[in-house]
Amino acid sequence: MGITVQFESYEEMIAFAGKLVGQQPALAKKEAKVTKPVKEEVPTEETPAAYEEVIPDQQQIEEEVPFEEEPVKTFTLEEVRAALAVLTRTGKQKQVKDLLTFFKAKNLTAVDPKDYAELMEKAGKL
């Protein structure tokens, strides 16, 4: 889950932050100070144990935020047939026949429906 907030000005951002922590917007504007960021110390080899708790290792990060793959589009027999018909009409009969042979099929109905997405991907590259 993610939340994105966009502000038009620094003051608007401070007022919003004040509301989040329970301050009145006018009070938040008065107390707003611009400070320079403090440069954090880079851990040296002498103090790695002190930073191990602060810096999670890569495996821990990957477990916490799983990669979400884009869902694979499914195609119907009619959609695949229409796409291959367009290729055939444009003079690519041999390439279409080679595609079917790649999937070990003599005709389109012999292609396994789970292979339709890959077939459409390869047909799109012709």
pLDDT, one tens digit per residue, over 38-80 is 666 665 555 555 555 555 555 555 555 566 677 767 889 999 9
Domain count, the chain: 2
Query: Is 108 part of a structural domain of the chain?
Result: yes
Q: How many Cβ atoms are within 10 Å of 120's Cβ, its own excluded? A: 17
Q: What count of residues does the chain have?
A: 126
Range of the domain at 88: 77-124
Query: Is 28 part of a structural domain of the chain?
Result: yes
Beta carbons within 8 Å of 79's beta carbon, 6+ residues apart: 116, 120
Query: Is 60 part of a structural domain of the chain?
Result: no
pTM: 0.44
